[in-house]
Structure 1
Amino acid sequence: MHKQRLLVVSALLAGATAPLQADDFNWDFYGKLDLQALYADADLLRYADKGWQIEAPFSRLGIKADQALTDDLKLIAVYEWQVNGLDDSNKGHRLGSRNTYIGIASKTYGELIFGKNDSKFKKSEGKIDLFNETLADMAQLTPGQDRLENIVSYQSPKLGLWQWSATYQTGASDETAGGYDWTLSYGDAAFKQAPYYFAYARANELNNISADRLLAHALLSESSLGTLSGGLMWQHSEHQTKPLRGNAWLAELQLKRDAIAYKLQYMQDHSRTRHSEEGNSWSVGADYSLSEDLTAYLLATRLDLQTQHDSAAALGVRWVF
Structure 2
Amino acid sequence: MKKNLLAIAVGAAVAFPGLALADGPTVYGKVNVSLENSDVDDGTTSEDTWELNSNASRLGVKGDFDLDVANLKAIYQAEFEISVDDGDKGGQTFTQRNIFGGLEGSLGTIKAGKFDTPTKKAQGKIDQFNDIGGDIKNVLAGENRVSNIIQYSTPKLADMITLNVAFIPGEGDDVDADGDADTDIADTTSISLVAEKDMFYGAISRDTDMVDELVADPSTPAVESLDITRAAVGLKPGNFELGALYQLAEETEGDGEDSSIVVSAAMKIDRIKLKAQYGMTDGDQSDEEVTQVSLGADYKLAKASKVYVYGTQLDFDLADEEETIFGLGMEHKF
Is residue 74 of structure 2 the alignment partner of residue 75 of structure 1? yes
Deviation at 1:72, TM superposition (A): 3.0
Does residue 195 of the first structure (1) align with residue 199 of the second (2)? yes
Task: Quote the offset at 1:180 in angstroms.
Answer: 0.3
Residue 52 of structure 2 aligns with an amino acid whose one-letter code is: I
CA distance 1:62–1:172, change in 2 (3 Å): farther
TM-score normalized by the length of structure 2: 0.78
Distance change >3 Å, CA 41–CA 24, structure 1 → 2: closer
Match of 1:30 in 2: 28
> How much does 1:272 deviate?
8.5
Using the TM superposition, give the Cα deviation of residue 246 of structure 1 relative to its aligned residue in structure 2, in angstroms: 2.1
Indicate whether 1:245 and 2:243 are aligned.
no
Alignment partner of 1:305 out of 316, 320, 327: 316
SS at match of 1:122: helix
Residues 199 and 56 (structure 1), Cα distance of their counterparts in 2 relative to 1, 3 Å cut? same
Alpha-carbon separation, structure 2, partners of 1:124 and 1:140 = 17
1:229 equivalenced with 2:246 (yes/no): no
Residue segments in structure 1 that go unaligned for 5+ positions in a row: 1-21, 189-193
Q: Which whole-Å CA distance do the structure 1 matches of 2:331 and 2:171 have between them?
A: 36
- Residue in structure 2 matching 1:212, options 225, 229, 232: 229
**Distance in 2 of aligned mates of 1:85 and 1:244:** 38
Pairing 1:155-304 to 2, within 5 Å after superposition: 155-159=153-157, 160-172=159-171, 176=175, 178-188=187-197, 194-207=198-211, 208-220=225-237, 222=238, 227-271=239-283, 277-304=288-315
Q: How far apart are 1:110 and its partner, in Å?
A: 1.4
Q: Distance in 2 between matches of 1:114 and 1:259?
A: 39
Q: CA deviation at 1:278?
A: 2.7
Provide the rounded CA distance (Å) in 1 between the counterparts of 2:26 and 2:173.
31
Aligned letter for 2:189?
Y
- Whether the aligned pair in 2 keeps the contact of 1:295 and 1:317 (CA below 8 Å) is yes
**Residue 318 of structure 1: aligned partner:** 331
- Closer, same or farther in 2 for the Cα pair 1:256/1:317, shift >3 Å? same
Unaligned runs of 5+ in 2: 1-19, 176-181, 212-224
Q: Which amino acid aligns with 1:234?
A: Y
Q: Note the C-alpha offset of 1:50.
A: 5.2
Contact kept? 2:245, 2:263, Cα under 8 Å: yes
Mapped partners of 2:306, 2:235: distance in 1: 23
> What TM-score, normalized by structure 1, do the two folds share?
0.81
Partner in structure 2 of residue 115 of structure 1:
113
Match of 1:61 among 59, 62, 73: 59
CA–CA separation in structure 2 for the residues paired with 1:297 and 1:175? 43
Distance in structure 2 (CA, Å) of the matches to 1:82 and 1:302? 26
Q: How many residues align?
A: 283
Q: Structure 1 counterpart of 2:195, which letter?
A: Y
Q: Secondary structure at the match of 1:130?
A: coil
Question: Given that residues 298 and 316 in structure 1 are in contact (C-alpha distance below 8 angstroms), is that contact kept between their aligned partners in structure 2?
Answer: yes
- Displacement of 1:315 in angstroms is 0.6
Q: How many percent identity over aligned positions?
A: 27
Aligned mates of 2:132, 2:126 — CA distance in 1 = 14
CA distance in structure 2 between the aligned counterparts of 1:292 and 1:138, rounded to whole angstroms: 25
Q: Distance in 1 between matches of 2:40 and 2:277?
A: 21
Deviation of residue 186 (structure 1)?
1.3
Structure 1 residues 246 and 23: alpha-carbon distance in aligned structure 2, compared to 1, 3 A threshold: closer
